[in-house]
Amino acid sequence: MLIQFSGVQHMEFDFHKFTNRDDLLSALSVLRHVSGITRVGGAFEFAISKMTAEHGMRDSTVPKVVYLLSDGRTHDYPKDEEMANLMRKKFPNVEIWAYGTGEYVAMSELLKITRDDSKIVTNKNLTLLEPMFDSWKGTEVCEKLPVCIKGSDKPLDMVLVIDASESVDKLFHEQVHFAIERIVQNMNIHPDAVRLALITYSGQPYLHFKFNNVKYGNNSAVIRYLNTLRSIKGTTSTHLALHDAYELLTDKTSGIREGVPKLVMVLTDGHSQRSPRALANRLLAEGFEIFALSMTYPPHVDEHELLHIAGNKSHVFTPQNIQDFEKEFMNYVGFSCAGMELGPNSEPRVRGATDVTCGPNSLTFTVRTQKPMKGLMYAQQFHDDSKCVLVTDGSNREISITFLEGTCGLLKIPSFRRDGYTYNVTVILQFHPLIITRADQGLDVSCFYNQPISLQEIGRSSLKKLTDTQCSYRLHRFGPNECVALDAKVGESIYHKWECDAPPNFYYLVHDCYAKSERKNIQILDSDGCEIDAHFLETPNYSQVTAKPRKGDSYVWQEMSVFKFPGDYNVVFQCKISLCDMESDDECTKQIPPKCASHALNSAEGPKRLKRMSSGGTKPGFSMTVDVETRTLNVLENEAIRPPVPSNTAT
pLDDT surpasses 90 at 449 = no
φ, ψ of residue 163 to 5 degrees: the values are -70, 120
Which span out of 146-150, 342-346, 367-371 was modeled with the highest average pLDDT? 367-371
CB 430 within 8 Å of CB 377 = yes
Same domain (yes/no): 176, 305: yes
Output b/e per residue, 450-489; b: 16+ Cβ within 10 A: eeeeeeeeeeebbeeebeebbbbbbbbbeebbeebbbbbe
Residue 278 to residue 272: CA distance in whole angstroms = 13
CA 9 to chain centre: 46
Same domain (yes/no): 320, 375: no
Q: Other C-beta atoms within 10 Å of 85: how many?
A: 15
Same domain (yes/no): 619, 519: yes
Q: Residue 462 has what pLDDT?
A: 43
Whether residue 606 lies inside any domain: the answer is: no
CA 26 to chain centre: 28
DSSP state of 285: H
12-43: pLDDT as tens digits = 899 988 877 777 877 887 777 777 788 999 99
How do strand 411-414 and strand 420-430 relate by DSSP bridges? Answer: antiparallel
List of residues 6+ apart from 218 with CB closer than 8 A:
189, 190
Same domain (yes/no): 507, 427: no
Q: Give me the count of residues in the chain.
A: 651
599-621: pLDDT as tens digits = 444 444 444 444 334 446 889 99
| Domain-ending residue, one of 423, 455, 487 | 455
CATH code assigned at 501:
2.60.40.4100
Whether residue 460 lies inside any domain: the answer is: no
Whether residue 444 lies inside any domain: the answer is: yes
Same domain (yes/no): 165, 309: yes
Of residues 396 and 332, more confidence is placed in 332
DSSP 446-479: EEEEE----HHHHHHHHHHHGGG--EEEEEEESS
CB 635 within 8 Å of CB 490 = yes
Q: Report the SS3 class of residue 343.
A: coil
Same domain (yes/no): 359, 283: no
Range of the structural domain that residue 430 is part of: 355-455
How do strand 389-393 and strand 398-404 relate by DSSP bridges? Answer: unpaired
Same domain (yes/no): 313, 379: no
Of residues 437 and 188, more confidence is placed in 188
Choose among 482, 548, 499: nearest CA to 224.
Answer: 482
Residue 636 to residue 462: CA distance in whole angstroms = 43
pLDDT surpasses 50 at 355 = yes
Same domain (yes/no): 448, 477: no
| Domain-ending residue, one of 267, 295, 330 | 330
Reported as a pLDDT band with limits 50, 70 and 90, residue 225 is: very high
What average pLDDT does the chain have? 81
Per-residue pLDDT, averaged over 232-247, amounts to 92
Choose among 81, 75, 67, 79: nearest CA to 109.
Answer: 81
| Domain-ending residue, one of 393, 426, 455 | 455
Same domain (yes/no): 170, 312: yes
Of residues 548 and 630, more confidence is placed in 630
Q: Which amino acid is at 234?
A: G
Whether residue 341 lies inside any domain: the answer is: no
Same domain (yes/no): 113, 8: yes
Q: Report the SS3 class of residue 588.
A: helix
Whether residue 643 lies inside any domain: the answer is: no
Total number of domains constituting the chain: 4
Min mean pLDDT across 387-391, 439-443, 529-533 is at: 439-443
Min mean pLDDT across 469-478, 574-583, 595-604 is at: 595-604
265, 268, 274, 277: CA torsion to nearest 10: 40
Q: Report the SS3 class of residue 393.
A: strand
Whether residue 235 lies inside any domain: the answer is: yes
CATH code assigned at 443:
2.60.40
Residue 332 to residue 479: CA distance in whole angstroms = 30
pLDDT surpasses 60 at 168 = yes
- pTM of model > 0.75: no
Whether residue 348 lies inside any domain: the answer is: no
CATH code assigned at 86:
3.40.50.410
Same domain (yes/no): 284, 386: no
Output b/e per residue, 209-247; b: 16+ Cβ within 10 A: bbbebeebbebbbbbeebeebebbeeebbbbbbbbbbbe
Whether residue 647 lies inside any domain: the answer is: no
Same domain (yes/no): 165, 291: yes
